Amino acid sequence: MKILMSLTPAVDPNLLVGMDTWDDAAVYRLTPDLALVQTVDIITPVVDDPFVFGQIAAANALSDVYAMGGRPLTAMNILAVEACVDPSIPREILRGAEAKIKESGAVVVGGHSVDDQELKFGLSVTGLVHPDKILRNSLARPGDVLILTKPIGTGIIATAIKGGVVSPEALEKAIKSMTALNREASEAALDFGAHAATDITGFGLIGHAFEIVRFGKIKARIFAGKVPILPGVKDLIKEGMVPGGTKRNQDHFGSQVRVDSGVSEEQKLILFDPQTSGGLLIAISVESSSKLIEKLGKYLAVIVGDIREGKGELEVISGG
C-alpha cells in the first residue's frame, strides 16, 4: 500500500476518484450519467475451509465497490497456489467466490492464476455508479455522526484460528460477519444522503477513520466504548492472539491519533486490529442517521463517533 501511494496521482478530467485520497476504489466517468468503479484485492486464508475463504475474499473485494456507492458488475479471480496442492482446494475457493459474486448480482468473467508457495486469493471487481452519487471518504461534514455496520475483531479471530484456540461460537460469528455483503449498508447510505463512506479493512477502524479526517480536513471522535466487537475477541487478546498487523497499524497511525487516557490497552488493540471484509464506516447527518439505522433493520448499524470542525484530527475517547 505505501509503495502504491508513492506513485504520482494520474491526472485526467474523467478520473473522478484516483489515488490522491486513498479511497477504496477508482472511479472513471464514461458519460455524464455513468462512471466505472474499479478495484482489486487479494488476501491470504483467514479460515481453514476453502469454500468459506473464497466467500470471504469475494465479499472483501466487492466491499470496495459498495464503499463508493457503486453496483458490482463483473469480477475476475486472482489465484496464487502451489501446483502440487490438491486440486479440490482451489476449486472450492473459486466455488465460494462465485457464490458470493452471484449473490451480489455481478458475474465472474475470468481470472488468472500463478504458481506460488503461499496461497493467496482475491478478485478484481468492476462496478458502475452515477457520477453525482459517489460515496467518497473525504466529504464528511461537521455535525455528522459516524455509523459502523459490522463488529470488529476479525484480525484477532484469524490469528486465533491459526493458533487453534478459537471457540466454535466466535468462529461462527466471525464467518457470518466476513461473508456478509455491504450491499444493504451502501444502498441505505445512498438513500439517506450520506456524505462520506469507507470500508474497514487492513488499516483497522482507527486507520480508516483517520483517512476520513485527513482528506476531509475535519476532526472526528471515535467512542471506544460504543464500537461493536465480535464475541470472544477480548478473551483472545488475553491469550496473546494479536496479529502483527495490529502493531504495524499502531506504529503507523498511533502518533497521528490522540487517545484519551480512559481508553484501555485492550480497546486500543481492538481499534487498531486489521480487518478482513469489515463493515462500512458512514458519515451522515444526525437527522438522517436514525432513518439509516431503521432502514438496515436486521443488519448492524451503530453510531461510533462524530465529526467536528478541524484540520485533520482524530481523537479516541472512552465515552460518547
How is the chain split into domains, by residue range?
2-133, 144-317
Cβ–Cβ under 8 Å, residues 314 and 207: no
Please tell me the predicted confidence (pLDDT) of residue 11: 87
Give me the sheet containing 26-31, strands edge to edge.
15-17, 26-31, 34-43, 120-129, 71-80, 107-114
Tens of pLDDT, residue by residue over 187-242, are: 999 999 999 999 999 999 999 999 999 999 999 999 999 999 999 999 999 999 99
Q: What is the mean pLDDT of residues 277-303?
A: 95
Name the β-bridge partners of 113: 79
Cβ–Cβ under 8 Å, residues 145 and 307: yes
Please tell me the predicted confidence (pLDDT) of residue 1: 44
Tens of pLDDT, residue by residue over 7-47, are: 787 889 999 999 999 999 999 999 999 999 999 999 999 99
Q: Which residue has the cell 484460528?
A: 161
| Other beta carbons within 10 Å of 31 | 8
Q: Which residue has the cell 444493504?
A: 184
Name the β-bridge partners of 36: 28, 128
The domain 2-133: what is its CATH number? 3.30.1330.10
Please tell me the predicted confidence (pLDDT) of residue 4: 54
Q: Does the pTM of the predicted model rise above 0.85?
A: yes
Distance separating alpha carbons of residues 192 and 207, to the nearest angstrom: 25
DSSP characters over 108-161? EEEEEEE--SS-EEEEEEEEEE-GGG---SS---TTEEEEE-S-B-HHHHHHHH
Share of the chain above pLDDT 90, in %: 94
Distance separating alpha carbons of residues 303 and 115, to the nearest angstrom: 44
Please tell me the predicted confidence (pLDDT) of residue 57: 98
Is CATH 2.120.10.30 correct for 144-317? no
Q: How far apart are the first and last CA of the chain?
A: 32
